[in-house]
Amino acid sequence: QITFIPVCPEQAGGLATPRAAAERSGKLVITADGKDVTAQYEHGAAEALRLAVRYQCAYAVLKERSPSCGSKRIYDGTFTRTLRDGTGVTAALLTANGITVFDETETAKLLHTLRT
């Protein structure tokens, strides 16, 4: 049986929806208008991990390119829509804690993994 546990780390971190665009710049997450929202992203990532542990999740499906959920490519922090290799705050935390992260384009790969 597959059970999905929906969570938005940015909302869990206290950010509104909609919210200002943000990108990772080094270890920081900064909005287009220069506000440091790193603490909110870190708090949201910790909440996502807490839920994943509570529900014994082995896998996560996250939104690629996001400063929180990107698992392969994220925007580079210049707000020029330039992508770079890297991971978002939540993707990095989940991965560091043994949870396999898939991006939203990899659902077929996830289903194959679940069948084997």
Do 22 and 32 meet the contact criterion of CB atoms below 8 Å apart? yes
Q: How confident is the model at residue 116 (pLDDT cuts 50, 70, 90)?
A: confident
Do 36 and 5 meet the contact criterion of CB atoms below 8 Å apart? no
DSSP state, 96?
H
Q: How confident is the model at residue 83 (pLDDT cuts 50, 70, 90)?
A: very high
For residues 47 and 4, what is the distance between their CA atoms, to the nearest angstrom?
A: 16
* Main-chain phi, psi angles of 86, to 5 degrees: 165, 175
Tell me the whole-structure pTM to 2 decimals: 0.93
Q: Which pLDDT value is given to residue 17?
A: 94
Do 25 and 77 meet the contact criterion of CB atoms below 8 Å apart? yes
Q: Which pLDDT value is given to residue 25?
A: 93
pLDDT (mean) for 78-93: 97
Tens of pLDDT, residue by residue over 53-75, are: 999 999 999 999 999 999 999 99
For residues 41 and 89, what is the distance between their CA atoms, to the nearest angstrom?
A: 7
pLDDT exceeding 70 applies to what percent of the chain? Answer: 100
Tens of pLDDT, residue by residue over 2-29, are: 888 999 999 999 999 999 999 999 999 9
